[in-house]
């Protein structure tokens, strides 16, 4: 163990532990800025190697496995933690800050974990922290969603735990490294399933659009950055080149944009687009070439920046206007101009518009898929790009910032705290900077030489992006009446989960009710009669036995007392009478 490595999770956990004991004034808020600054220092100064190797219960735990893949995720996690903390400084609820700090600590712990045991501990820490970020919104819907969220991630954690224990039994080690598809065993598939739950792979994704829109304004900003991207990291660490991931990622990319196009809730739209954008990353990992893995890593980096900014913009609208439903919004462009500008930077980034960071990472992933002759993957990701621009780049900002009814334009707005603008501004600058200067990111990608060999700013890439964006704009114009926001809740695989829940309820409740009815009848016919018989017996025993003994004893004592009182009065006739009685008694005894 060397001394030139600092684990970012330490700072986050320490501050989270200290917060409850600090006084109620607002000075404690500045303490929460320290962990992100420590994380940025650690992410950009740590060098590859193995650090913080501990021996525990006969096992070797590697808390600090550092390489190029872990560093690039640690860097963007650190940047996002600073932006998220700045965005949430106005929040007075210590519980929210503690949950966010523990959640981020779990993400860093997973990124630097060199063994499955360490990974599992921090994996579950993320689950607990993020659950509270949903619950602390303190509405009935958010509390129920937090329980569903935690239940889902508990199942995912159990799949991971079962897989890693079976793997240890078979291999004798908990080391976390690449797994060859051809040599995969049953326990490897369990581990993959646990990772896919957090990656929101369809159909294991329903927890995401269910929980994220119901979280706190600031909590959803953190959640959009860490859970799914940590899953992308572990998939890239262990499952590169698994073809099933290429197929699953393509389905995710298309599926997410289809549901986002139908949604009315702004944060639910963005949640479905997390599913879609993570699909690009999962597909790139599944293809498994140097370019697609670079593309997946670059897209994870870009996605955290622009998706965090998108949730910040939607959160600012919710904070100010009090609603996130598009059919209740409109006319906010003039009233919240800087929110609109920051949101549009993120919207253009996620849509892959040239000059913004999404253009670089998307084209790298899609080009890599075509170069690997994965035509299905490449075409699917191109189609998803069209849907992304329609729903996030046009639909959401149109109805939120420009559309709406005249009455919506007069909605009372709450002033937005300055710190929220600082968080949005930081991410907006980075989205543009990475798009204009992709070399900034190339230095940190897992395959550096292949990264610099790729040039996104070619005439064909720019022309292709412009054609897709133009087609998307035309499609929105033609479908603008079809995709108008409506109040209905769109169920996807939630429907099947609810159906399964009802079936389980029927399977359990009906037999239980049948048995309960039988028991009720038995009790009515046997139990109650036995109880009444027991009651009558008790009454009889009380009257005949207990009352008889007690009353008889009382009468005897009374008689003896009466006789004693006669002997105490000093009259001679009573003494003579007593002697005669005693004499007759003695005579009768000896006679018989």
Q: What local confidence, expressed as pLDDT, does residue 553 receive?
A: 63
Q: What local confidence, expressed as pLDDT, does residue 60 receive?
A: 83
Band (pLDDT 50/70/90 cuts) for residue 30 is confident
In the predicted structure, residue 393 carries a pLDDT above the cut 90: no
Residues 361 and 459 placed together within one structural domain of the fold: yes
3-class secondary structure, 117: helix
C-alpha span between 348 and 71 (Å, rounded): 27
Q: What local confidence, expressed as pLDDT, does residue 449 receive?
A: 85
End-to-end CA distance of the chain: 109
Q: What local confidence, expressed as pLDDT, does residue 1 receive?
A: 39
Q: What local confidence, expressed as pLDDT, does residue 542 receive?
A: 64
DSSP 8-state class, residue 202: T
Instruction: Examine residue 368 and state whether it is found in any structural domain, yes or no.
Output: yes
Q: What local confidence, expressed as pLDDT, does residue 262 receive?
A: 82
Can you give the residue range of the structural domain that contains 130? 1-237
Look at residues 453, 485, 517 and tell me which one is the last residue of a structural domain.
485
Q: What local confidence, expressed as pLDDT, does residue 411 receive?
A: 73
- Read off the pLDDT of residues 332-369 as tens digits, 9 standing for 90 and up: 888 899 999 999 999 999 988 888 998 888 889 999 99
Look at residues 438, 455, 485 and tell me which one is the last residue of a structural domain.
485
Residues 436 and 321 placed together within one structural domain of the fold: yes
Residues 442 and 465 placed together within one structural domain of the fold: yes
Q: What local confidence, expressed as pLDDT, does residue 409 receive?
A: 64
Instruction: Examine residue 492 and state whether it is found in any structural domain, yes or no.
Output: no
Tokens representing 268 are: 């639910």
Mean pLDDT estimate for the chain: 86
How far from 267 is each of 175, 188, 273, 302, 432, CA to CA, in Å? 38, 34, 10, 19, 23
Instruction: Examine residue 226 and state whether it is found in any structural domain, yes or no.
Output: yes
Q: What local confidence, expressed as pLDDT, does residue 197 receive?
A: 94
Is the bond leading into 203 cis (omega within 30 degrees of zero)? yes
Instruction: Examine residue 148 and state whether it is found in any structural domain, yes or no.
Output: yes
Residues 183 and 281 placed together within one structural domain of the fold: no
Residues 228 and 249 placed together within one structural domain of the fold: no
Instruction: Please indicate, yes or no, whether the overall pTM of this predicted structure exceeds 0.95.
Output: no
Q: What local confidence, expressed as pLDDT, does residue 568 receive?
A: 57
In the predicted structure, residue 218 carries a pLDDT above the cut 60: yes
3-class secondary structure, 569: coil
- Read off the pLDDT of residues 229-273 as tens digits, 9 standing for 90 and up: 999 999 999 999 999 999 999 999 999 998 888 888 889 999 999
Residues 398 and 480 placed together within one structural domain of the fold: yes
Residues 440 and 580 placed together within one structural domain of the fold: no
Instruction: Examine residue 360 and state whether it is found in any structural domain, yes or no.
Output: yes
3-class secondary structure, 54: strand
Residues 107 and 7 placed together within one structural domain of the fold: yes
CA torsion, ordered 186, 191, 196, 199, to nearest 10 deg:
-160
Q: What local confidence, expressed as pLDDT, does residue 2 receive?
A: 43
Total count of domains within the chain: 3
CB 293 within 8 A of CB 447: yes
Instruction: Examine residue 490 and state whether it is found in any structural domain, yes or no.
Output: no
Residues 206 and 259 placed together within one structural domain of the fold: no
* Max mean pLDDT range (191-195, 435-439, 503-507, 528-532): 191-195
Residues 186 and 293 placed together within one structural domain of the fold: no
What are residue 66's DSSP bridge partners? 49
How far from 361 is each of 171, 221, 352, 389, CA to CA, in Å? 37, 21, 8, 16
* CB atoms inside a 10 Å sphere around CB 91: 20
Question: At a CB cut-off of 8 Å and minimum separation 6, what does 137 contact?
Answer: 214, 215, 216, 219
C-alpha span between 39 and 77 (Å, rounded): 8
Instruction: Examine residue 382 and state whether it is found in any structural domain, yes or no.
Output: yes
Residues 450 and 536 placed together within one structural domain of the fold: no
3-class secondary structure, 264: coil
What are residue 265's DSSP bridge partners? 325
Instruction: Examine residue 491 and state whether it is found in any structural domain, yes or no.
Output: no
Average pLDDT over residues 308-325: 91
Exposure b/e, 568-580, CB count within 10 A at least 16 = b: eeeeeeeeeeeee
- Read off the pLDDT of residues 442-468 as tens digits, 9 standing for 90 and up: 888 999 888 888 888 888 888 878 887
- Provide the CB-side half-sphere exposure for 211 (13 A, CA): 32
C-alpha span between 283 and 246 (Å, rounded): 4
- Read off the pLDDT of residues 91-147 as tens digits, 9 standing for 90 and up: 988 999 999 999 999 999 999 999 999 999 999 999 999 999 999 999 999 999 999
Look at residues 237, 258, 285 and tell me which one is the last residue of a structural domain.
237
Residues 376 and 470 placed together within one structural domain of the fold: yes
Best CA proximity match to 193, nearest among 141, 235, 253:
235
The total number of residues shown for the chain amounts to 592
In the predicted structure, residue 384 carries a pLDDT above the cut 50: yes
* CB atoms inside a 10 Å sphere around CB 491: 12
In the predicted structure, residue 223 carries a pLDDT above the cut 50: yes
What is the chain's alpha carbon radius of gyration, rounded to the nearest angstrom? 37
Q: What local confidence, expressed as pLDDT, does residue 168 receive?
A: 92
Tokens representing 435 are: 């798009």
Q: What local confidence, expressed as pLDDT, does residue 567 receive?
A: 54
Band (pLDDT 50/70/90 cuts) for residue 282 is very high
Residue 54 backbone zone (phi > 0: left; psi -120 to 50: alpha; other: beta): beta
CB 212 within 8 A of CB 223: yes
3-class secondary structure, 464: helix
In the predicted structure, residue 41 carries a pLDDT above the cut 80: yes
CB 312 within 8 A of CB 423: yes
Question: At a CB cut-off of 8 Å and minimum separation 6, what does 383 contact?
Answer: 253, 254
């Amino acid at each position: 163990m060397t001394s030139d490595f600092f684990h970012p999770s330490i700072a986050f956990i320490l501050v989270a532990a200290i917060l409850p004991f600090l006084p109620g004034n607002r000075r404690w808020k500045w303490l929460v800025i320290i962990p992100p600054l420590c994380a940025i220092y650690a992410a950009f100064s740590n060098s590859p190697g193995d650090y913080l190797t501990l021996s525990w219960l006969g096992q070797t735990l590697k808390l600090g496995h550092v390489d190029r893949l872990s560093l690039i995720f640690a860097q963007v996690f650190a940047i996002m933690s600073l932006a998220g903390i700045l965005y949430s400084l106005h929040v007075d609820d210590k519980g929210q800050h503690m949950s966010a700090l523990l959640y981020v600590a779990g993400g860093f712990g997973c990124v630097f974990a060199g063994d499955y045991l360490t990974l599992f501990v921090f994996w579950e820490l993320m689950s607990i922290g993020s659950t509270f970020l949903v619950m602390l919104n303190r509405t009935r819907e958010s509390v129920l969603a937090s329980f569903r969220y935690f239940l889902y991630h508990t199942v995912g954690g159990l799949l991971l735990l079962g897989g890693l224990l079976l793997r240890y039994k078979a291999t004798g080690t908990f080391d976390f490294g690449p797994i060859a598809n051809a040599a995969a065993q049953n326990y490897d598939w369990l581990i993959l399933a646990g990772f896919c739950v957090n990656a929101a792979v369809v159909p294991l994704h329903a927890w995401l659009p269910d929980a994220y829109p119901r979280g706190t304004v600031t909590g959803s900003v953190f959640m959009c950055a860490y859970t799914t991207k940590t899953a992308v990291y572990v998939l890239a660490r262990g499952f590169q080149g698994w073809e099933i991931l290429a197929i699953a990622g393509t389905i995710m990319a298309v599926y997410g944009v289809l549901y986002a196009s139908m949604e009315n809730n702004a944060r639910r739209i963005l949640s479905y687009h997390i599913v879609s954008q993570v699909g690009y990353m999962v597909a790139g990992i599944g293809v498994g070439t140097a370019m697609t893995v670079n593309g997946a890593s670059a897209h994870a980096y870009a996605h955290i920046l622009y998706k965090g900014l998108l949730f910040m913009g939607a959160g600012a609208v919710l904070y100010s206007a009090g609603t996130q439903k598009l059919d209740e919004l409109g006319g906010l462009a003039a009233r919240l101009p800087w929110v609109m500008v920051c949101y549009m930077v993120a919207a253009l980034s996620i849509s892959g518009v040239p000059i913004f960071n999404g253009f670089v990472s998307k084209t790298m992933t899609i080009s890599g898929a075509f170069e690997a002759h994965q035509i299905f993957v490449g075409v699917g990701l191109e189609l998803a790009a069209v849907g992304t621009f329609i729903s996030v780049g046009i639909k959401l900002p149109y109805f939120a910032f420009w559309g709406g009814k005249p009455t919506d334009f007069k909605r009372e707005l709450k002033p937005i705290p300055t710190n929220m603008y600082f968080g949005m501004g930081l991410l907006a600058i980075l989205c543009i900077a990475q798009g204009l200067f992709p070399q900034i990111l190339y230095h940190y990608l897992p395959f550096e030489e292949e990264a610099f060999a790729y040039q996104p700013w070619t005439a064909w890439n720019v022309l292709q992006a412009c054609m897709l964006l133009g087609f998307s704009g035309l499609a929105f114009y033609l479908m603008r009446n079809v995709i108008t926001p409506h109040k209905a809740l769109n169920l996807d695989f939630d429907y099947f989960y609810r159906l399964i829940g009802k079936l389980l309820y029927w399977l359990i409740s009906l037999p239980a009710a049948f048995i309960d009815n039988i028991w009720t009848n038995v009790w009515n016919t046997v139990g109650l009669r036995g109880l009444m018989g027991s009651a009558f017996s008790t009454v009889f025993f009380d009257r005949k036995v207990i009352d008889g003994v007690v009353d008889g004893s009382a009468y005897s004592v009374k008689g003896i007392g009466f006789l004693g009182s006669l002997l105490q009065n000093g009259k001679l006739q009573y003494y003579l009478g007593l002697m005669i009685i005693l004499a007759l008694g003695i005579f009768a005894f000896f006679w018989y």
